[in-house]
Each structure stands twice: as C-alpha cells, then as structure tokens.
Structure 1
Amino acid sequence: MRFEGTSTVRDNRTEQCPLEDRKAFGKKARGWYDFALDEENNVIVVRWNDNSVVTVISNKCGVAPLEKAKRYFVENRNKIDIVQPNLIHV
C-alpha cells in the first residue's frame, strides 16, 4: 500500500534540498518558482513566490502543467496573471 500526499513544509526541514535560499527567493517577482526532484523516492519540492515564499512537498503532483492565477498589484492598481505550478494550484 502506498500513501500519496501534498503539504507545505517548514524551511528547516529542507536544508539538504538544493533550492535557492528563502531570503533571496523573496526578492524575485511574484510567480517565480524553483523545484527539486528526488527520482529515487518520487518526491518533489517546490518553492513558489506569492505574497510570501511558500515551500510545498509532494509525492502525488508535479510542477506541470503550469496554471495561471490572478493577483492584485497595488503598484498597477489592477489584477494580472502570474504563473502557478500545478502542485500549488491543487
């Protein structure tokens, strides 16, 4: 029997994962993402920048297909589409 799941994960649990540093990642544009895949254990870790940086781990979903999400930008005073990995969208 195999269990599948998707969940947010704290940064101190991903120290060995080769993702960009959270502080540097927060300075990137909204919608920016990075991921690391462990093919041996079939686990993917995705870091995505929205209002804040979110780190999600899953053995069920992946990054593709990329979805679009509408976000309001105060600077422009309107909504724009940003890229959202499937793992976040689900």
Structure 2
Amino acid sequence: MYDSWLRLGFDTVRLGLEAQTVVALRLAKLSLGGAAAQIEAQRMVTEKVEAAAEAAMTLATGGTAERVVRDYRRKVRANALRLSRG
C-alpha cells in the first residue's frame, strides 16, 4: 500500500513519462504504414479498452490506486520493450 499520496503522485508521473516512450515508438511504427502498422493500431485500441476494463474491475472489487498504477506500468514497460526490439 502507498505510504503517502506523494509517492502515488510520483509513480503516476513515472507512468506518464514511460507511456510517452511507448507513444513515440508507436508513432514511429505507424508512420511506416503497411500491415505491421495496421496490426499495431488494432493492438493499441484493443489494449486500451482491455486495460481500462481491468482497472475498473480492480477498483470495483476493492483494489487500490497503487494496484492500478502498478498494472498499467507493467503493461507500458512490456510494450516499450516489444516496440524497441523491432
């Protein structure tokens, strides 16, 4: 559990900065066009809908903001790694 709102704020800011990396990598991939870009665009939309539903379910079942931020950061890091490889 978060020991302060300040820590939650810092983790949320880090999530935002990490997400910007993914946005830049995705824009680069989308700018190339083709089948890979279309697949990435579809993946992006699907992931966002799934992540929002998962976050809502976490909160609805008594989960914390910490859990939501941690789950989002894990997904963002996985996307950054995947996109930076190819």
TM over 0.5: no
**More strand per residue:** 1
Normalised by the shorter chain, which TM-score bucket? Answer: under 0.3
Give 1 or 2 for the bigger CA radius of gyration.
2
Structure showing greater relative contact order (alpha-carbon pairs closer than 8 Å, 6 or more residues apart): 2
Q: Which has the higher helix share?
A: 2
